[in-house]
Amino acid sequence: MVFRPAGFAFPLSRGRLALELRRDGSAITTEPGPSDRPRAERGRWSLRDVDLCVETPPPKSRRRTFEIVSLTPERLVVRRK
């Protein structure tokens, strides 16, 4: 998966996974909902070696772990674990 900075000119799509990783460790995960409208969830992120972990709190507790393949200021490439 490839993530780009906010404001990147993506082609049209019915929806994409978006991650907003903030300096304070908070995160906002946005993905298409049942009606294709974006649905956002707040959570926390952390790094463990080369793994990026994003967790959302109850009641919809969810943990996503991605292996960081490469990182530049313009592009984050990850692999789902």
Give the Cα separation of 79 and 54 in Å (integer).
13
The pTM of the full predicted model, rounded to 2 decimals, is: 0.81
| Strand runs labelled E in 1-81 | 2-3, 18-21, 26-32, 38-48, 51-56, 62-72, 75-80
pLDDT for 78 = 96
Residue 7 pLDDT grade (very low, low, confident, very high; cuts 50, 70, 90) = confident
Classify the phi-psi angles of 22: left when phi > 0, otherwise alpha if psi is within -120 to 50, otherwise beta: beta
Q: Residues 16-72: pLDDT tens digits?
A: 889 999 999 999 999 888 888 889 999 999 999 999 999 998 888 999 999 999 999
Give the Cα separation of 24 and 35 in Å (integer).
32
pLDDT for 53 = 97
Is the per-residue pLDDT at 14 higher than 80? no
